[in-house]
Amino acid sequence: MLSINYYLILSAVLFTIGVVGVLTRRNAILIFMCIELMLNSVNLTLVAFSAYLGSVEGQVLVFFVMAVAAAEAAVGLAIVLALFRNHVTVNLDEINILKW
């Protein structure tokens, strides 16, 4: 039987890849997808603890995380669409209207 550390380390690796993606890519949609990757790695941690500690709370929390991720996808992509309509780009280096 595997110990829980395998799952935790895999989750840490996936989370780090997501962080590196957010820091290096400049396409708004790709940054959005990297955030989804980070959410998923945390979900893996929650499911692993839920299975190893024998408690249902982790899986309920994953359920809510998925609902929030769906809402975030709808609103985030609508923001990207509105941004593209105004600036004809999704490159975050060129979108600096809030910069002082």
Under the binding rule (CB under 8 A), the answer on residue 82 touching other proteins is: yes
Name the minimum Å distance from CB 15 to other proteins. Answer: 7
C-alpha distances (whole Å) from 92 to each of 5, 33, 35, 67 are 37, 15, 15, 27
Tokens of residue 33, six digits: 């997808």
Name the minimum Å distance from CB 90 to other proteins. Answer: 7
Site string for other proteins, 46-65 (x = CB under 8 A): -xx-xxxxxxxx-xx-xxx-
Positions 15 through 44 that interact with other proteins (CB under 8 A): 15-21, 23-27, 29-30, 32-34, 36-37, 40, 43-44
Count Cβ atoms below 10 Å from residue 28 Cβ, excluding itself: 19
Under the binding rule (CB under 8 A), the answer on residue 13 touching other proteins is: yes
Dihedral sign for Cα atoms in the order 84, 88, 91, 92: negative
φ/ψ of 93, rounded to 5, equals -70, -25
Name the minimum Å distance from CB 35 to other proteins. Answer: 11
